[in-house]
Structure 1
Amino acid sequence: MSPLKILVVDDEQDVKSLFEQRFRREIRSGSVFFTFAFSGEEALKYMEAHGSEVVLILSDINMPGMSGIELLKHIRVEHPSPHPQVMMVTAYGDEQTYQQAMQFGANDFLTKPLDFSQLKEKLTTLL
């Protein structure tokens, strides 16, 4: 079975070590493979080269430069089929932010701090 390839997009550098720590067992077993981009622009460059491999994108919404919502719009236009699942992640769980993310094609919406048990549960449907 090939690993679930996940692109995590967040301007916070420590998110990489956090995901690697929380998903240590899954990474070791080869069931998931993470790639990290620290800006929307970096994520788009990665998607240009590896878009067909990425099954899921976990993107922060509030980032300097290109926001997660802007990234979502690009992904939905530039990678139409099969387009990856996109889960938006934000510290702002307000209704307006949620509605905006869903309007532009987000598959799910998670609030920070991330509940990794909940995230792992959601990922089992993609494995």
Structure 2
Amino acid sequence: MKILVVDDEPDVRVLFEQRFRREIRSGEFAFSFAYSGEEALGFLRAHPSEVVLILSDINMPGMSGLELLRHVKSDPLPPPPPLVMMLTAYGDAATKQQAEQLGADDFLTKPVDFTALRDKLHAIENR
């Protein structure tokens, strides 16, 4: 399963590669990384229909994760539209409600519980 992680923090890549080392090595999960909403949209256009899930931070400079979500769910990206899981350090109800209204498929707070995330990824993969 191809997963695009969108976060402006550069250490996120190392963290995901460490936490999912076994799944990456077995080919179960393949991660790509974008460091802004704009970069994520460019990646999605350049790799149509490859990404199954987007894990996006909400608070980023430039295009926020919510703006990225709006584009992914409304722009004519190649089908099928990917699932979008939002990540944020702020678990406030208003942000969560806005993300859900824009079409977010799931919502996680930081710091990420990687055991719970792994379970969610396996559930998506086994649909």
Please, what TM-score do these two structures have when normalized by structure 2? 0.95
The letter of the residue matching 1:36 is F
**SS of residue paired to 1:126:** helix
> Does the 8 A contact of 2:88 with 2:108 survive in 1?
yes
Residue number in structure 1 paired with 2:122: 124
Aligned length: 124
What's the C-alpha RMSD, in Å, of the aligned pairs? 0.9
Residue in 1 that maps onto 2:3: 6
Match of 1:33 in 2: 30
Partner of 1:84: 82
Q: Which residue of 1 aligns with 2:109?
A: 111
For 2:26 and 2:44, how far apart are their aligned partners in 1?
A: 25
TM-score, normalised via structure 1 length: 0.95
* Letter matched to residue 62 of structure 2: G
> How far has the Cα of 1:80 moved from its partner?
6.8
User: Which one is further off, 79-88 or 48-57?
Assistant: 79-88
Q: Which residue of 1 aligns with 2:95?
A: 97
Gaps of 5+ in 1: none
Q: What secondary structure does 1:53 align onto? A: coil
Sort the Cα spacing of 1:80 and 1:50 in 2 relative to 1 into closer, same or farther, 3 A: closer
Deviations 1:62-111 (A, max 9, x none): 00000000000000112373110100000000000000000000000000
Amino acid paired to 1:113: P
